[in-house]
Amino acid sequence: MAIIDKKGRIHGKIGNLVYRTVGDTEIVQTKAAKVKQTLSTKESAMEFGLASNCGRILRSVFSTFCCNSDGKMINRMNVTLLKCIKDNISKERGNRDLHDGNLEHLLGFQFNAHSPMNMALAIRPLCFMEAGRVKVKLPEIKENTQLQQLKYGRHAVLRLMLVAVNFRENYYEYLSYQDIDIAKGAVIPEQEWNPDVVLPPRSILLVSASLHYSGLTDVSGQAQSINSKDFSPAELIGAFHISEEEFTQQIEKAEEERMRYPLDNYRGQEILKEINKKRGKNSRSQVLKPKTSIIKTADKKETVPEIPIGKVFYQTELNFG
């Protein structure tokens, strides 16, 4: 329905025409025709929705520094997660999620493109798995030459954090963290972080490194964070799949001390079911019964296949008798 305003201009929709006014200009647009999407297009869209849903969960898990991310981080993360999932070619869409994906694409992911970690900190933390344990090696850090400081920065902390996420069992868990204080003019010796925790089986393990700067103190004497959307270095330095339990007794003991948080509104399983549902409907609709034509003659009835349009017949095929 369309209306005419006091100035005699039309606003709204009449049939397939849409009338609107932009400034002093009146615009008439035709309504876009409905596009019939193929099954492959629908599946791709739903798998991107799966990656987007995983991205929202991870941003919530790393909310301590995601709040200072750049404006394009959400899209970058969604694209990276989709690449992880699609890298598994052994399973088709509808039967794969991030647990089946290649997590190597997450290594080096920057949460703030304006301040990459490798530009803010000259040394590179090395994260790896050894004998079922996570280890992070840190070279020597010289604050004067290897750390980028802010104008009003007085103190910096390099935080290493270990997180487990299980999308199939609907939980995430903060396993451990290590804060390394970097004062003005300090030289931090080479060190290795070995978190003594039992890794939950069938989960995805993520290790992050982030820099947190503090400047002037408030009236209570506490230092204030000066991280911002323009400068807040944070990076994923480790991403691993944790297989079935290797140390059963340790896991059973650790289960009593777990602090697991449910994933807020994760719809991954619903999306996978919807993909399979659409694929099932499409496969049934494509099973068509062959049509036949009845040719009546004076003596008998003959049933012959319906002739496809555009088919080229050879002389031997024209003999129906």
Q: Which helix (H) or strand (E) holds 22?
A: strand 17-22
Average pLDDT over the chain, rounded to an integer: 84
Residue 46 lies in a domain: no
Lowest mean pLDDT among 35-39, 131-135, 170-174: 35-39
Lowest mean pLDDT among 5-9, 44-48, 85-89, 197-201: 5-9
Task: State the amino acid at position 268 in one-letter form.
Answer: G
Q: How many C-beta neighbours within 10 Å does residue 277 have?
A: 11
pLDDT at 220: 75
What residues make up the domain containing 257?
102-275
* CA pair distance 163, 260, nearest whole angstrom: 11
Residue 178 lies in a domain: yes
Residues 6 or more apart from 155 whose CB is under 8 A from it?
181, 182, 183, 184, 213, 214, 223
The answer to whether residue 249 scores a pLDDT higher than 70 is no
User: Residue 28: pLDDT band by 50, 70, 90 thresholds?
Assistant: confident
Residue 293 lies in a domain: no
Residue 137 lies in a domain: yes
User: Residue 255: pLDDT band by 50, 70, 90 thresholds?
Assistant: low
Q: What percent of the chain has pLDDT over 70?
A: 83
Residue 209 lies in a domain: yes
User: Residue 295: pLDDT band by 50, 70, 90 thresholds?
Assistant: very low
Q: Under a CB-based contact definition with an 8 Å cutoff, are residues 167 and 266 in contact?
A: yes
More confident residue, 48 or 320: 48
The answer to whether residue 165 scores a pLDDT higher than 90 is yes
Whether the model pTM is above 0.85: no
Residue 184 lies in a domain: yes
Largest Cα span, the chain: 109
Q: Under a CB-based contact definition with an 8 Å cutoff, are residues 164 and 199 in contact?
A: yes
* CA pair distance 8, 2, nearest whole angstrom: 12
More confident residue, 32 or 153: 153
CA angle 267, 272, 274 (to 5 degrees): 95
More confident residue, 16 or 66: 66
Residue 138 lies in a domain: yes
Q: Which residues pair with 296 in a beta bridge?
A: 301
Report the CATH number at residue 262: 2.60.40
pLDDT at 293: 46
The answer to whether residue 17 scores a pLDDT higher than 80 is yes
Q: Which residues pair with 303 in a beta bridge?
A: 294
Residue 228 lies in a domain: yes
pLDDT at 245: 61
Residue 121's alpha-carbon distances to 73, 106, 112, 135, 215, in angstroms, are 20, 19, 14, 19, 18
Q: Under a CB-based contact definition with an 8 Å cutoff, are residues 306 and 293 in contact?
A: yes
Q: How far is CA 268 from the centre of its chain?
A: 11
Question: How many domains are there within the chain?
Answer: 1
Instruction: Return the closest-CA partner of residue 68 out of 115, 22, 30, 36.
Output: 115
pLDDT at 153: 83
Q: Average pLDDT in the 294-311 region? A: 50
The answer to whether residue 297 scores a pLDDT higher than 50 is no
pLDDT at 271: 92
DSSP 281: H
